[in-house]
């Protein structure tokens, strides 16, 4: 997709059952809220579907990311005796890792994309956080801030120099992906009507938005481009 001389890709971040509220699946199955459900997390789906279809119609790149954790992943509180979800620990590769409830475990329903997310426009799926001892918030780098996911090389191989980001959550995976995109030289736009935040710790969403804006990320409603 070209906008004012830039070639852009859309990156849809972590629209998975474990990050979404309870809902009724297309099969009629009633799914409970995910292990790390983001309040109103499912409200990002409609604008993302609409935006992704425009990209697909133009033959532009649409990438979806997904957490893909082993059952004993290092970011799970259950992997640390006497620790609980929300605690912060220092790991060999990462200082200040937040511990979470087990979520997006490989080959489970919680790791599946939300049924209402239209995967038709998506031609590439990036799974991250699959290494047992290393978490991954960003679509570009693991949490050690050194190990690449491969997305940067993929995008640059396609001649892409701008990225639109939407998904979950504003203050974690969207935030880190946006900052990394800026640092890698991409014009970066976060679609404000297509993100929702965790809000942990309190104030984290506002802080993330301010930090992204200060770093040069454009915060725009998807309607500004459609």
User: What pLDDT, on a 0 to 100 scale, did the predictor assign at position 225?
Assistant: 84
Catalytic-labelled residue, pool 18, 67, 152, 173? 173
Catalytic-labelled residue, pool 128, 135, 152, 171? 128
User: What pLDDT, on a 0 to 100 scale, did the predictor assign at position 226?
Assistant: 74
Q: Give residue 199's region: left, alpha or beta (phi > 0; psi -120 to 50).
A: left
Residue 4 has pLDDT above 60, yes or no: no
Question: pLDDT digit string (tens) for 71-127?
Answer: 999 999 999 999 999 999 999 889 999 999 999 999 999 999 999 999 999 999 999
Annotation says 14 is catalytic: yes
**What is the pTM (predicted TM-score) of this model?**
0.95
Annotation says 173 is catalytic: yes
What residue ranges do the domains of the chain occupy?
Answer: 2-68+107-224
Q: Which CATH number fits domain 2-68+107-224: 3.40.50.850, 3.40.630.10, 3.40.630.30, 3.40.50.720?
A: 3.40.50.850
Q: What is the CA radius of gyration of the chain?
A: 17
Question: pLDDT digit string (tens) for 132-172?
Answer: 999 999 999 999 999 999 999 999 999 999 999 999 999 99
Provide the 3-class DSSP secondary structure of residue 18.
helix
Integer CA distances (angstroms), 212 to 169, 185, 222, in order = 14, 14, 17
Residue whose token pair is 């915060």: 219
User: What pLDDT, on a 0 to 100 scale, did the predictor assign at position 26?
Assistant: 87
Annotation says 128 is catalytic: yes
């Amino acid at each position: 997709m070209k906008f004012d001389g830039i070639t852009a890709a859309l990156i849809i971040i972590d629209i998975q059952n474990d990050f979404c509220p309870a809902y009724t699946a297309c099969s009629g199955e009633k799914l409970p809220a995910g292990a790390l459900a983001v309040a109103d997390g499912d409200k990002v789906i409609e604008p993302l579907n609409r935006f992704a279809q425009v990209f697909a119609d133009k033959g532009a790149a649409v990438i979806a990311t997904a957490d893909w954790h082993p059952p004993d992943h290092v970011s799970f509180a259950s992997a640390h005796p006497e620790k609980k979800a929300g605690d912060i620990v220092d790991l060999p590769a990462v200082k200040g890792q937040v511990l979470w409830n087990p979520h997006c475990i490989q080959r489970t329903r919680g790791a599946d994309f939300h049924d209402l997310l239209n995967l038709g426009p998506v031609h590439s799926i990036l799974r991250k956080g699959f290494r047992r001892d290393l978490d991954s918030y960003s679509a570009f780098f693991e949490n050690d801030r050194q190990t690449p996911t491969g997305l940067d090389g993929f995008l640059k191989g396609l001649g892409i120099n701008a990225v639109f980001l939407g998904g979950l959550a504003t203050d974690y995976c969207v935030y880190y992906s946006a900052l990394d995109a800026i640092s890698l030289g991409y014009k970066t736009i976060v679609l404000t009507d297509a993100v929702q935040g965790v809000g942990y710790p309190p104030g984290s969403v506002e802080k993330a938005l301010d930090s992204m804006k200060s770093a040069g990320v454009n915060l725009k409603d998807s309607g500004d481009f459609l």
